[in-house]
Amino acid sequence: MHDPAPERPAGIAGPSDALAPSATMVGGGSPSVELEPELLGSELAPDAEFETARRGLGFGFWLSVGWLTVIVLLAVLADILPLEDPNATFVGAPGLGPGLHHLLGTDELGRDLLSRVIFGSRVSLIVGFTSIAVGMLIGGSIGLAAGYFRGKIDAIVTGLANILLAFPALVLALAIVTFMGPSLFHVTLAISILAIGPLTLLVRGSTIVFSQREFVVAARLLGAKSWRVVYREILANVLPGAMSLGLIAVAVAIVAEGALSFLGVSVRTPTASWGNMIAEGRIVMVQHPLITLWPAALMFLTVLALNFAGDRLRAYFDVREGAL
Protein backbone atom coordinates (compact mmCIF):
# COMPACT_ATOMS: atom_id res chain seq x y z
CA MET A 1 0.00 0.00 0.00
CA HIS A 2 1.15 3.50 -0.80
CA ASP A 3 0.81 6.32 1.62
CA PRO A 4 -1.67 8.92 0.44
CA ALA A 5 -0.14 12.13 -0.82
CA PRO A 6 -0.04 14.74 1.94
CA GLU A 7 -2.54 17.50 1.61
CA ARG A 8 -1.26 20.97 0.92
CA PRO A 9 -2.74 23.93 2.70
CA ALA A 10 -4.76 26.21 0.50
CA GLY A 11 -2.80 28.94 -1.25
CA ILE A 12 0.53 27.04 -1.32
CA ALA A 13 1.63 25.93 -4.78
CA GLY A 14 3.40 22.68 -5.47
CA PRO A 15 6.54 22.38 -7.62
CA SER A 16 4.55 21.47 -10.74
CA ASP A 17 2.01 24.26 -10.41
CA ALA A 18 4.30 26.85 -12.02
CA LEU A 19 4.32 24.80 -15.23
CA ALA A 20 0.65 23.88 -15.22
CA PRO A 21 -1.85 26.02 -17.11
CA SER A 22 -4.70 27.42 -15.13
CA ALA A 23 -8.17 26.15 -16.12
CA THR A 24 -11.47 27.89 -15.60
CA MET A 25 -14.94 26.52 -16.22
CA VAL A 26 -16.92 28.75 -18.51
CA GLY A 27 -20.68 28.14 -18.38
CA GLY A 28 -20.16 24.61 -17.15
CA GLY A 29 -18.31 23.64 -20.36
CA SER A 30 -14.83 22.35 -20.92
CA PRO A 31 -12.01 24.17 -19.18
CA SER A 32 -10.36 26.99 -21.12
CA VAL A 33 -6.58 27.07 -20.87
CA GLU A 34 -4.97 30.38 -19.90
CA LEU A 35 -1.22 30.78 -20.15
CA GLU A 36 0.56 32.07 -17.11
CA PRO A 37 1.49 35.78 -17.35
CA GLU A 38 5.15 34.94 -16.73
CA LEU A 39 5.23 32.59 -19.72
CA LEU A 40 3.44 35.12 -21.89
CA GLY A 41 5.89 37.82 -20.89
CA SER A 42 8.92 35.69 -21.67
CA GLU A 43 7.60 34.85 -25.15
CA LEU A 44 6.43 38.32 -26.12
CA ALA A 45 9.10 40.45 -24.44
CA PRO A 46 11.41 40.72 -27.49
CA ASP A 47 8.58 41.75 -29.82
CA ALA A 48 7.34 44.23 -27.25
CA GLU A 49 10.82 45.71 -26.94
CA PHE A 50 11.15 45.99 -30.72
CA GLU A 51 7.80 47.77 -30.92
CA THR A 52 8.73 50.06 -28.05
CA ALA A 53 12.00 50.90 -29.77
CA ARG A 54 10.22 51.74 -33.02
CA ARG A 55 7.73 53.94 -31.22
CA GLY A 56 10.57 55.41 -29.19
CA LEU A 57 12.07 57.12 -32.25
CA GLY A 58 9.19 59.51 -31.90
CA PHE A 59 8.26 62.79 -33.49
CA GLY A 60 11.49 64.49 -32.42
CA PHE A 61 13.60 61.99 -34.36
CA TRP A 62 11.67 62.50 -37.59
CA LEU A 63 11.67 66.26 -37.06
CA SER A 64 15.47 66.10 -36.76
CA VAL A 65 15.71 64.00 -39.92
CA GLY A 66 13.47 66.49 -41.73
CA TRP A 67 15.63 69.43 -40.68
CA LEU A 68 18.83 67.67 -41.77
CA THR A 69 17.23 66.75 -45.09
CA VAL A 70 16.29 70.38 -45.73
CA ILE A 71 19.78 71.65 -44.85
CA VAL A 72 21.48 69.06 -47.07
CA LEU A 73 19.16 69.78 -50.01
CA LEU A 74 19.71 73.53 -49.70
CA ALA A 75 23.47 73.04 -49.63
CA VAL A 76 23.44 70.71 -52.64
CA LEU A 77 21.03 72.81 -54.71
CA ALA A 78 22.40 76.23 -53.73
CA ASP A 79 23.85 76.89 -57.21
CA ILE A 80 20.49 76.49 -58.94
CA LEU A 81 18.37 78.28 -56.35
CA PRO A 82 17.38 81.92 -57.00
CA LEU A 83 19.95 83.30 -54.57
CA GLU A 84 22.27 86.28 -54.68
CA ASP A 85 25.98 85.76 -55.09
CA PRO A 86 27.10 85.11 -51.47
CA ASN A 87 30.28 87.14 -51.95
CA ALA A 88 28.75 90.08 -53.85
CA THR A 89 28.90 93.25 -51.75
CA PHE A 90 26.29 96.00 -51.56
CA VAL A 91 23.48 94.01 -53.15
CA GLY A 92 21.49 95.84 -50.50
CA ALA A 93 22.08 98.51 -47.91
CA PRO A 94 24.49 97.35 -45.17
CA GLY A 95 22.86 96.00 -42.00
CA LEU A 96 19.33 95.63 -43.37
CA GLY A 97 16.88 93.60 -41.34
CA PRO A 98 14.73 90.81 -42.78
CA GLY A 99 12.57 91.99 -45.65
CA LEU A 100 10.91 91.03 -48.91
CA HIS A 101 14.04 91.38 -51.07
CA HIS A 102 16.45 89.99 -48.47
CA LEU A 103 14.62 87.45 -46.33
CA LEU A 104 17.28 87.34 -43.60
CA GLY A 105 18.66 90.82 -44.20
CA THR A 106 22.17 91.87 -45.17
CA ASP A 107 25.51 91.99 -43.36
CA GLU A 108 27.82 94.94 -42.71
CA LEU A 109 29.04 94.84 -46.34
CA GLY A 110 25.57 94.59 -47.87
CA ARG A 111 25.87 90.86 -48.70
CA ASP A 112 22.69 88.78 -48.65
CA LEU A 113 22.60 86.75 -45.42
CA LEU A 114 20.24 84.06 -46.73
CA SER A 115 22.62 83.29 -49.58
CA ARG A 116 25.63 83.29 -47.26
CA VAL A 117 24.16 80.95 -44.64
CA ILE A 118 23.02 78.49 -47.33
CA PHE A 119 26.37 78.48 -49.12
CA GLY A 120 28.13 78.48 -45.74
CA SER A 121 26.33 75.27 -44.78
CA ARG A 122 28.31 73.49 -47.50
CA VAL A 123 31.57 73.97 -45.61
CA SER A 124 30.19 72.66 -42.32
CA LEU A 125 28.46 69.66 -43.92
CA ILE A 126 31.43 68.72 -46.11
CA VAL A 127 33.86 68.89 -43.21
CA GLY A 128 31.49 67.15 -40.79
CA PHE A 129 30.43 64.19 -42.91
CA THR A 130 33.68 63.73 -44.86
CA SER A 131 35.97 63.80 -41.82
CA ILE A 132 33.84 61.29 -39.89
CA ALA A 133 33.54 59.06 -42.97
CA VAL A 134 37.33 59.02 -43.33
CA GLY A 135 37.79 58.49 -39.60
CA MET A 136 35.24 55.67 -39.62
CA LEU A 137 36.85 53.99 -42.63
CA ILE A 138 40.37 54.09 -41.19
CA GLY A 139 39.59 53.84 -37.49
CA GLY A 140 36.83 51.30 -38.03
CA SER A 141 39.06 48.99 -40.06
CA ILE A 142 41.86 49.22 -37.52
CA GLY A 143 39.42 48.73 -34.64
CA LEU A 144 37.93 45.62 -36.26
CA ALA A 145 41.37 44.06 -36.66
CA ALA A 146 42.43 44.96 -33.12
CA GLY A 147 39.23 43.72 -31.50
CA TYR A 148 39.14 40.43 -33.40
CA PHE A 149 42.79 39.36 -33.43
CA ARG A 150 43.75 40.91 -30.05
CA GLY A 151 47.30 40.23 -28.88
CA LYS A 152 50.12 42.50 -30.09
CA ILE A 153 47.94 44.09 -32.77
CA ASP A 154 45.43 45.17 -30.13
CA ALA A 155 48.16 46.53 -27.85
CA ILE A 156 49.77 48.59 -30.62
CA VAL A 157 46.46 49.97 -31.95
CA THR A 158 45.16 50.81 -28.48
CA GLY A 159 48.40 52.55 -27.59
CA LEU A 160 48.39 54.69 -30.74
CA ALA A 161 44.72 55.58 -30.27
CA ASN A 162 45.37 56.64 -26.67
CA ILE A 163 48.29 58.79 -27.83
CA LEU A 164 45.98 60.59 -30.29
CA LEU A 165 43.40 61.10 -27.55
CA ALA A 166 46.04 62.50 -25.21
CA PHE A 167 46.50 65.61 -27.36
CA PRO A 168 44.03 68.46 -26.78
CA ALA A 169 41.80 68.19 -29.85
CA LEU A 170 41.50 71.88 -30.72
CA VAL A 171 45.23 72.52 -30.18
CA LEU A 172 46.18 69.59 -32.43
CA ALA A 173 43.76 70.74 -35.13
CA LEU A 174 45.13 74.28 -34.94
CA ALA A 175 48.68 72.98 -35.25
CA ILE A 176 47.88 70.83 -38.29
CA VAL A 177 45.94 73.54 -40.15
CA THR A 178 48.45 76.26 -39.29
CA PHE A 179 51.34 74.12 -40.49
CA MET A 180 49.63 73.07 -43.74
CA GLY A 181 47.76 76.31 -44.40
CA PRO A 182 44.08 77.23 -44.06
CA SER A 183 41.87 75.48 -46.63
CA LEU A 184 38.81 73.27 -46.74
CA PHE A 185 40.92 70.19 -47.51
CA HIS A 186 43.36 70.80 -44.67
CA VAL A 187 40.60 71.42 -42.14
CA THR A 188 38.86 68.21 -43.22
CA LEU A 189 42.15 66.32 -42.97
CA ALA A 190 42.86 67.68 -39.48
CA ILE A 191 39.45 66.72 -38.12
CA SER A 192 39.69 63.32 -39.82
CA ILE A 193 42.92 62.64 -37.92
CA LEU A 194 41.24 63.67 -34.68
CA ALA A 195 38.32 61.31 -35.38
CA ILE A 196 40.46 58.21 -35.94
CA GLY A 197 41.38 57.67 -32.28
CA PRO A 198 37.92 57.62 -30.65
CA LEU A 199 36.30 55.76 -33.55
CA THR A 200 39.02 53.10 -33.42
CA LEU A 201 38.39 52.46 -29.73
CA LEU A 202 34.62 52.49 -30.25
CA VAL A 203 34.70 49.85 -32.99
CA ARG A 204 37.33 47.83 -31.13
CA GLY A 205 35.14 47.59 -28.02
CA SER A 206 32.07 46.53 -30.00
CA THR A 207 34.14 43.98 -31.94
CA ILE A 208 35.41 42.39 -28.73
CA VAL A 209 31.83 42.02 -27.48
CA PHE A 210 30.50 40.45 -30.68
CA SER A 211 33.54 38.23 -31.26
CA GLN A 212 32.53 36.32 -28.13
CA ARG A 213 28.93 35.72 -29.21
CA GLU A 214 27.64 32.26 -30.07
CA PHE A 215 27.15 32.83 -33.79
CA VAL A 216 30.77 33.97 -34.19
CA VAL A 217 32.08 30.99 -32.22
CA ALA A 218 29.92 28.68 -34.36
CA ALA A 219 31.29 30.21 -37.56
CA ARG A 220 34.84 29.62 -36.34
CA LEU A 221 34.05 26.00 -35.42
CA LEU A 222 32.59 25.44 -38.89
CA GLY A 223 35.93 26.48 -40.38
CA ALA A 224 35.07 29.96 -41.69
CA LYS A 225 38.11 32.08 -42.51
CA SER A 226 38.91 35.05 -40.33
CA TRP A 227 38.11 37.66 -42.99
CA ARG A 228 34.71 36.06 -43.57
CA VAL A 229 33.91 36.01 -39.86
CA VAL A 230 34.94 39.65 -39.49
CA TYR A 231 33.10 41.06 -42.49
CA ARG A 232 30.09 38.72 -42.64
CA GLU A 233 29.36 38.19 -38.95
CA ILE A 234 30.96 40.91 -36.82
CA LEU A 235 30.87 43.94 -39.13
CA ALA A 236 27.15 43.50 -39.82
CA ASN A 237 26.47 43.82 -36.10
CA VAL A 238 29.02 46.50 -35.26
CA LEU A 239 28.14 48.85 -38.13
CA PRO A 240 24.60 49.97 -37.08
CA GLY A 241 25.71 51.11 -33.63
CA ALA A 242 28.86 52.72 -35.02
CA MET A 243 26.85 54.64 -37.64
CA SER A 244 24.40 55.94 -35.04
CA LEU A 245 27.26 57.23 -32.90
CA GLY A 246 28.85 58.53 -36.09
CA LEU A 247 26.02 61.07 -36.39
CA ILE A 248 26.96 62.44 -32.99
CA ALA A 249 30.58 62.58 -34.15
CA VAL A 250 29.48 64.60 -37.20
CA ALA A 251 27.92 67.14 -34.86
CA VAL A 252 31.21 67.40 -32.95
CA ALA A 253 33.12 67.83 -36.23
CA ILE A 254 30.80 70.66 -37.34
CA VAL A 255 31.40 72.46 -34.05
CA ALA A 256 35.16 71.92 -34.43
CA GLU A 257 35.11 73.41 -37.93
CA GLY A 258 33.10 76.36 -36.64
CA ALA A 259 35.69 76.93 -33.91
CA LEU A 260 38.54 76.84 -36.44
CA SER A 261 36.64 79.24 -38.72
CA PHE A 262 36.01 81.57 -35.78
CA LEU A 263 39.75 81.57 -35.09
CA GLY A 264 40.48 82.36 -38.74
CA VAL A 265 42.24 79.12 -39.72
CA SER A 266 39.53 77.45 -41.79
CA VAL A 267 38.37 78.50 -45.27
CA ARG A 268 39.57 81.91 -46.30
CA THR A 269 37.22 84.87 -46.52
CA PRO A 270 35.18 85.93 -48.42
CA THR A 271 34.14 82.26 -48.75
CA ALA A 272 31.15 81.86 -46.47
CA SER A 273 31.06 79.39 -43.59
CA TRP A 274 29.00 79.49 -40.44
CA GLY A 275 32.08 79.94 -38.29
CA ASN A 276 33.62 82.87 -40.13
CA MET A 277 30.20 84.53 -40.46
CA ILE A 278 29.90 84.44 -36.68
CA ALA A 279 33.45 85.81 -36.39
CA GLU A 280 32.73 88.66 -38.82
CA GLY A 281 29.42 89.51 -37.18
CA ARG A 282 30.82 89.77 -33.66
CA ILE A 283 32.48 93.09 -34.56
CA VAL A 284 29.10 94.73 -35.21
CA MET A 285 27.03 92.54 -32.90
CA VAL A 286 25.69 95.46 -30.88
CA GLN A 287 24.41 97.36 -33.93
CA HIS A 288 23.41 94.32 -36.07
CA PRO A 289 22.97 91.18 -33.92
CA LEU A 290 21.18 89.25 -36.68
CA ILE A 291 24.42 88.97 -38.67
CA THR A 292 25.74 86.63 -35.98
CA LEU A 293 22.40 85.18 -34.92
CA TRP A 294 21.43 83.53 -38.23
CA PRO A 295 24.56 81.36 -38.76
CA ALA A 296 24.73 80.59 -35.03
CA ALA A 297 21.07 79.50 -35.01
CA LEU A 298 21.50 77.25 -38.05
CA MET A 299 24.61 75.65 -36.57
CA PHE A 300 22.84 75.13 -33.25
CA LEU A 301 19.77 73.52 -34.84
CA THR A 302 21.86 71.29 -37.12
CA VAL A 303 24.09 70.09 -34.29
CA LEU A 304 21.04 69.53 -32.08
CA ALA A 305 19.32 67.50 -34.82
CA LEU A 306 22.40 65.34 -35.38
CA ASN A 307 22.83 64.72 -31.66
CA PHE A 308 19.16 63.85 -31.15
CA ALA A 309 18.92 61.59 -34.20
CA GLY A 310 22.14 59.79 -33.31
CA ASP A 311 21.07 59.31 -29.71
CA ARG A 312 17.68 57.89 -30.67
CA LEU A 313 19.24 55.49 -33.18
CA ARG A 314 21.78 54.38 -30.59
CA ALA A 315 18.98 53.63 -28.13
CA TYR A 316 17.09 51.74 -30.83
CA PHE A 317 20.01 49.48 -31.68
CA ASP A 318 20.77 48.95 -27.99
CA VAL A 319 17.21 47.71 -27.46
CA ARG A 320 17.48 45.35 -30.44
CA GLU A 321 20.74 43.89 -29.17
CA GLY A 322 19.31 43.44 -25.66
CA ALA A 323 16.22 41.70 -27.02
CA LEU A 324 18.31 39.31 -29.06
pTM equals: 0.77
What is the DSSP annotation of 140-154?
A: HHHHHHHHHH-HHHH
Question: Per-residue pLDDT for the chain (324 aa), expressed as one digit of tens each?
Answer: 445 544 444 444 444 443 344 444 444 444 444 444 443 444 444 454 455 455 567 788 899 999 999 999 999 999 999 888 898 888 888 888 888 888 898 888 889 999 999 999 999 999 999 999 999 999 999 999 999 888 899 999 999 999 989 988 888 999 999 898 888 999 999 999 999 999 999 999 989 988 888 888 888 888 778 788 888 888 888 888 888 889 999 999 999 999 998 888 888 878 888 988 888 888 888 888 888 999 999 999 999 999 999 988 888 877 555 444
CATH number, domain with residue 267: 1.10.3720.10
- Whether 224 is in a domain gets the answer yes
- Whether 147 is in a domain gets the answer yes
C-alpha distances in angstroms, 229 versus 139, 140, 199, 262, 286? 19, 16, 21, 46, 61
- Whether 288 is in a domain gets the answer yes
User: For position 320, what pLDDT does the model report?
Assistant: 52
User: For position 15, what pLDDT does the model report?
Assistant: 41
User: For position 254, what pLDDT does the model report?
Assistant: 93
CA distance 183 to 178: 10
- Whether 73 is in a domain gets the answer yes
> Which amino acid is residue 309, in one-letter code?
A
Dihedrals φ, ψ of 95, to 5°? Answer: 70, 25
CB atoms within 10 A of CB 216: 19
User: For position 101, what pLDDT does the model report?
Assistant: 85
Core vs surface per residue 181-196: b (16+ CB within 10 A) or e: ebebebbbbbbbbbbb
What's the total number of domains in the chain? 1
Domain of residue 212: give its range: 59-323
User: For position 12, what pLDDT does the model report?
Assistant: 42
- Whether 37 is in a domain gets the answer no
- Whether 25 is in a domain gets the answer no
- Whether 259 is in a domain gets the answer yes
C-alpha distances in angstroms, 145 versus 132, 150, 151, 153, 211? 19, 8, 11, 8, 11
- Whether 315 is in a domain gets the answer yes
Q: Decide the pairing of beta strands 31-34 and 22-25.
A: antiparallel
